[in-house]
Each structure stands twice: as C-alpha cells, then as structure tokens.
Amino acid sequence: MIVTWNGPVISLGMKVVPALAAGNCVVVKPSEFTPFSPDLFAQLLREAGVPQGVCTILTGGPEAGAALVRHPKVAKVSFAGGPVAARQIMHACADQLKPAVLELGGKTASLVFPDAGDLDAVANRAVRDCIGVLAGQGCAVPSRLIVHEDIHDEMVERVTAIAATYKVGDPFDPEVKVGPLINAAAVERVCGMLDRVRRDGAGRIVLGGSKAGGDLADKNFVEPTIIVDTDPDHEIAQTEIFGPVLLIFKFSTDDEAVALANSTPYGLGANIQSTNLIGKAGGPGSTNSCATRRFPSSSRSRPKGAEAIPRPLFYVHLKPQWRHRDNRAAVRHRLGRRHPTRRSARAAG
C-alpha cells in the first residue's frame, strides 16, 4: 500500500484495516514527506495485539515504492496519489498481471443555486473547505465554486471578504486558519500556476495570488487566493492546484452548470447547494450527480462505500478449488463444467 502525504492516518485507517480484516498481511510505503504518522500507526497496531510482520512500514522514496510494486510476493497494490505515479504503477502491475486499486485526484465542483439559503453560510463553507482545510492540499476539496448568475457577484464579495480574514501561519496557533504547503517545490508549483493565469489572461485574481510575505516570506506559505472569470480550459481550471486557491465560475442554466462541473478529467466528488433539488442537475437527493461520465484522472476503482463491500473491500480473491478425485462430479457441478476433469487436475489436492 502506497499512501499519500496529505492524509496518511485516514488513508491507513481506510485501507489497512479492511485488508487486515480480510486476512492479509500488508506492507505500507508512506510518503517520504510524512513518514512519522504511519510509524505511530504501526506502533498502535502492535499495542492492539496485531502480530509482528502483519503490518510492515517500508520508508523511502520513489525507488522504494517501485521495488515494492514489482516484488513478486506482493499480490495486490493499493495506491493513493496523483495520476502520473498511477500510470507508472499500472504499467508495472500490468507486466505481472497484478491487480491494483488506484485512488487518484479530484477537482471537486460545488454548484450554488439562487435558492441555496443562507449565503453567508455558503460562503463560509466554500472558504473553509477549499482554503482552510489543509491549505487546499486535498483531492476532494471543492476548489471550483460554480455560482448562478443571479447571486454570482454577491457570492464573490462574500467569499473574498471571508477569505481576507484567514490568517496564514503556524497551524498550531489557534488563530491561524491557513497552514503551510508541504514543501518549497509545492509553493513554486502553485505560484507558477498563478503566474501563468496572469500571463495568459485566464482569470481575474481578486485576492492573494502570491507567496506569503513578511515573516513568512522564506517559508512554504501561499496567500489565500480567489480567482474569478477563469477560463475553464486553462491549466488552473483543469488540474489539481493543491494550494489555498478557490476558483469561482458563473452559470445561467442547469445544463451549463453540469457542463462546467464535468469539464475536467477529474470526477472524485461534487456537491449541490440548494434548498430544493427537484429538477436541479440530476434530481432529488443527488450530491454527486455531476459525475455523469467516465473520469480518467480520478479513482480507477471503488475502494470505499457500498460498492466495495461485496468484493469485500477489494482485498479478497475467491478461487475455485479442486477436491479429491472421488468427489470430481461435485467439483464439476460447482464450477459449472460438463467436460471430464483432466487427470492432473483430479490429482491436485
């Protein structure tokens, strides 16, 4: 199991525990950026009575992950991360006909209708979930706010005013709402995307848009950033940002809203904010109705929820078994085979 850096503990809980419950031993390769919490997780497993060697933590960089994926004794690979590494893992697994569970990126859209209700609450959620949660470093954060034209300008004002109050700094400070990015390379990548928005005229930055200054200038912080009038085909609207950046789009009709929500290769999540979902983007009760087609850069499997339970949870493979030759008729009936069992198969165990 290769787990990502932005939520290692929750990933371990969602992946390791079901695999152990299904009777497997697990080797976990944590991100080289966050190696300590998986080690603590392993200590807690030992304290809970899980035998030594049932869950092993293998630290290291990409080379360690590649060696683990290609090891012949690894029967299945579970990966959480980005599509670039996922393609490499898929190639390696294909060479060995090895199954893989891939949980990839997202570009979550939040559709806001005129009857959304308390717009202050909507604006607070938008800023908190995209900018305040992990400084935007999450695959499911709603980084695209798609707002009906009747309330668009008002929402932009409310969201911008709220984001402007978010203090950036040490996450252990109770007054701070935006922490650092994972490393300097992440800051350079996010700021590079923002620079290209300016260069290409692909949006209007109404708040932030730069690396944090002052006492934080030499550290890994980016200002809370709001972008409006974004070109939906631009890089910043099509790929994960993984920074405290919220894009706001405008729509006129339901069809236009769904088209915007579906305009990226990601489909990990979506939500609708309305007090009356009847007839809106998919019908009553739909919180993910924007996901109406195949999304190649999101999960290639369903490792969670009701769809995973019958498998169960992708960590068990059922095999047909040959029994003693005296019971070969029952074996043929069980497997649905009508032709005679071969001698070599009959003799097997």
Q: Give the Cα separation of 321 and 324 in Å (integer).
A: 10
* Contact (CB, 8 A) for 135 and 183: no
For residue 235, indicate whether it is catalytic: no
Active site residue 103: yes
Continuous H helices in 8-82: 8-21, 36-47, 62-70
Contact 260, 252 (CB under 8 A): no
- Find tokens 């949660």 and name the residue: 133
Contacts for 54 with CB less than 8 Å, ≥ 6 apart: 20, 25, 26, 45
Q: Which of 93, 130, 139, 290 is catalytic?
A: 139
Token representation of residue 347: 């003799």
Q: For the chain, what is the largest distance between any 2 Cα atoms, rounded to a whole number of angstroms? A: 82
Q: Bin 81: left if φ > 0, else alpha if -120 < ψ < 50, else beta.
A: left
CA gap 224, 222 in Å, rounded: 7
Choosing from 103, 130, 191, 240, which is the catalytic residue? 103
Long-range contacts of 161-164 (CB under 8 A, 24+ apart): 162/123, 162/124, 162/127, 163/127, 163/131, 163/207, 163/208, 163/224, 163/226, 163/246, 164/207, 164/224
End-to-end CA distance of the chain: 32
Would you name the residues annotated as active-site residues? 103, 139
